[in-house]
Structure 1
Amino acid sequence: MKVWAKALLLLASVSGVALAQSQTQLSELKLPAFELKGQLIQGSLLLGKTAPGSTVFFNNIELPLSVDGRFVFGVGRDAPLKHQLKVQINDQQLVKELVFSPREYDVQYVTGVAQKYVTPPKEVTERISKDNQRVRKVRETVSGLVYIFATPIMPANGRISGVYGSQRVFNGEPRNPHYGLDIAAPTGAKVIAPFSGKVLLAEDLYFSGLTLIVDHGFGISSTFMHLSKFDVAVGDTVQQGQKIAEVGASGRVTGPHLDWRINWQQERLDPALLPGLIIP
């Protein structure tokens, strides 16, 4: 009996060691993981964080990754509701299906718009085309600036007079949806940088009037439209909260306001959904 008892004790001891080794091996085998900050809803921007050195794909598009493992992406106004995020590190991979919620958008009727902005004359067609090409080109910028990972602030004080996604009808004629956040304010009211960044464009464009585009990094930019004055120039680095322009009524407007837009390269996102933004 003593011999069998010793054998059982030895077997239990060996089994315990094997189990402990197995658990240690499992704990050392860490699958890639990530955190997301933002709302899973059409028009949203999401901030992510994973292990440094990982490779991240959103719908099979590789995303830039900061040295500390941060990344960003977004979905547009009418984007599909199902997307895929994939994180790889070494020979390990995690695939996560992301399901976004749909949105319903209002129809906004705007009257009193100068007819030349509703149905532009043929002589300005070439200018409008060049404006669009110029804006599209600067929005292709994907820099290593990390300002987009800061907590944003509102770029102006005032009543919200227009929201993202609403269908616009100008003087009774349907036009493209609105892709910005409108803030009603008097001409000359200050516009400040919601994030730090670098100025990519400061020009007078046909529809948007005096227009400023600021790069915040990783393909994210802010556009400020219908301004009356620039306080910065292309190439300038601006700090969050710094005065960069003044509210105006230039371009296709019916009154002074700031039209603030957020882009992930060519994808138009909703500024109101920026993680951490507080709208009074």
Structure 2
Amino acid sequence: MTVLAGCTATAETRSAQSPSPAIAGTRATILPPTVEQGALVIGTTHPAATVEYAGRRVRVSPDGVFAIGIARDAASPAIVVVTQPGTPRTEHRIEVRPRDWPVERITGVPPKTVKPPPEIAARIAREQAEVSAARTRDDARADFAQAFRWPVQGRISGRFGNARVYVLPDGTDVPQTPHSGMDIAAPTGTPVQAPAPGVVTFARSDLYLTGGTVLLDHGQGVSSNFLHLSRIDVRVGDRVEQGQVIGAVGATGRASGPHLHWGMNWFDVRVDPLLVLSATR
């Protein structure tokens, strides 16, 4: 079955010019009619089709499954271009519903992690570049094409996409970039389980901002990241199955208390894990 994050699957092709499935060598392209900003969209088409979105040639699995990420600030419509063998180039338009992004004010984080000195800022840039490089992987695997599970149970203490302001001890407000994932509050040491299968592409315990950090690649550019871990139980290159323990909740890096930050990406596009969890199959 096809997973469509934040929307309902439909067999309707969103273009009047789409080829009929009755034509030899073609297959109906399945995409949702609408999605929310921050959605991970998983579609199906002919396995030999060419799929393009946001200037990127999108990998299609041997079963015809492909994924795209809708950015937090994406405008409507999202246009997915599909060219099946022997058929014209066809545009499929997906309505992107806007979302409200409240402001979160956060206290209690170490001031040096909010306004780091130049040498620390350089270290942060190097570490973030390493993490970004791990997100460029584009395997043929489609581990993402199944229902995801919560990596840990707890209260949602921070939501994807919300604007963030760090409040320093002297009362100074320091605006930050929007929150890149979902925070789940849980006691230090709580086991963190893989929400879906994948391959570990990054595992470090000492990043300045994110502390214990693991990236799990689910194939075709879809990945999960788990931050602030107190313990890491996997190594780069490990194949991980859904439900396998990959580490433990902590408060390492820039954190005001123990929690798991779970982020998801489609390459460099950040998507909302909560929408992925609520997706239908």
When the two structures are superposed, what TM-score results if normalisation uses the length of structure 2?
0.85
In the TM superposition, residue 189 of structure 1 has moved relative to its aligned partner by: 0.2
Q: Does structure 1 conserve the Cα–Cα contact (< 8 Å) formed by 2:200 and 2:214?
A: yes
Is 2:46 the counterpart of 1:44?
Answer: no
Runs of 4+ aligned residues of structure 1 deviating over 2 Å after TM superposition are 25-33, 36-39, 275-278
In the TM superposition, residue 274 of structure 1 has moved relative to its aligned partner by: 0.9
DSSP 3-state at the match of 1:274: helix
DSSP 3-state at the match of 1:62: strand
In the TM superposition, residue 132 of structure 1 has moved relative to its aligned partner by: 1.2
Among 254, 257, 262, which residue is 1:255 paired with?
Answer: 257
Aligned mates of 2:114, 2:34 — CA distance in 1: 34
Letter in 2 for 1:249: A
Aligned length: 254
In the TM superposition, residue 123 of structure 1 has moved relative to its aligned partner by: 2.4
Is 2:68 the counterpart of 1:73?
Answer: yes
- Evaluate the alpha carbon distance shift between residue 185 and residue 277 of structure 1 in structure 2; reply closer, same or farther with a 3 A threshold: farther
1:235 corresponding residue in structure 2: 237
Matches within 5 A, 1:206-245: 206-245=208-247
CA RMSD of aligned residues (A): 2.0
Aligned mates of 2:71, 2:91 — CA distance in 1: 22
In the TM superposition, residue 76 of structure 1 has moved relative to its aligned partner by: 1.0
Aligned mates of 2:184, 2:118 — CA distance in 1: 31
Q: Does structure 1 conserve the Cα–Cα contact (< 8 Å) formed by 2:33 and 2:95?
A: no
In the TM superposition, residue 199 of structure 1 has moved relative to its aligned partner by: 0.5
Letter in 2 for 1:140: T
- Evaluate the alpha carbon distance shift between residue 42 and residue 173 of structure 1 in structure 2; reply closer, same or farther with a 3 A threshold: same
1:196 corresponding residue in structure 2: 197
In the TM superposition, residue 26 of structure 1 has moved relative to its aligned partner by: 10
Q: Is the radius of gyration larger for structure 1 or structure 2?
A: 1
In the TM superposition, residue 122 of structure 1 has moved relative to its aligned partner by: 2.1
Aligned mates of 1:68, 1:215 — CA distance in 2: 19
Is 2:265 the counterpart of 1:270?
Answer: no
Q: Does structure 2 conserve the Cα–Cα contact (< 8 Å) formed by 1:45 and 1:74?
A: yes
DSSP 3-state at the match of 1:148: coil
Q: Does structure 2 conserve the Cα–Cα contact (< 8 Å) formed by 1:84 and 1:96?
A: yes
2:128 corresponding residue in structure 1: 132
1:61 corresponding residue in structure 2: 56
Q: Does structure 2 conserve the Cα–Cα contact (< 8 Å) formed by 1:152 and 1:194?
A: yes
Moved more, 33-42 or 202-211: 33-42
Aligned mates of 2:81, 2:111 — CA distance in 1: 48
2:161 corresponding residue in structure 1: 165
In the TM superposition, residue 36 of structure 1 has moved relative to its aligned partner by: 2.4
2:12 corresponding residue in structure 1: none
In the TM superposition, residue 38 of structure 1 has moved relative to its aligned partner by: 9.2
Aligned mates of 1:202, 1:38 — CA distance in 2: 37
Q: Does structure 1 conserve the Cα–Cα contact (< 8 Å) formed by 2:33 and 2:93?
A: no
DSSP 3-state at the match of 1:127: helix
Q: Does structure 2 conserve the Cα–Cα contact (< 8 Å) formed by 1:33 and 1:87?
A: no
In the TM superposition, residue 60 of structure 1 has moved relative to its aligned partner by: 4.5
Letter in 1 for 2:147: T
1:13-70 per-position Cα deviation (integer Å, ceiling 9, x unaligned): xxxxxxxxxxxx9954676521125961111100001122222122452210000100
Paired-residue identity, % = 40
In the TM superposition, residue 96 of structure 1 has moved relative to its aligned partner by: 1.6
DSSP 3-state at the match of 1:147: coil
In the TM superposition, residue 78 of structure 1 has moved relative to its aligned partner by: 1.0
Aligned mates of 1:26, 1:163 — CA distance in 2: 41
Unaligned ranges ≥5, structure 2: 1-19, 168-172
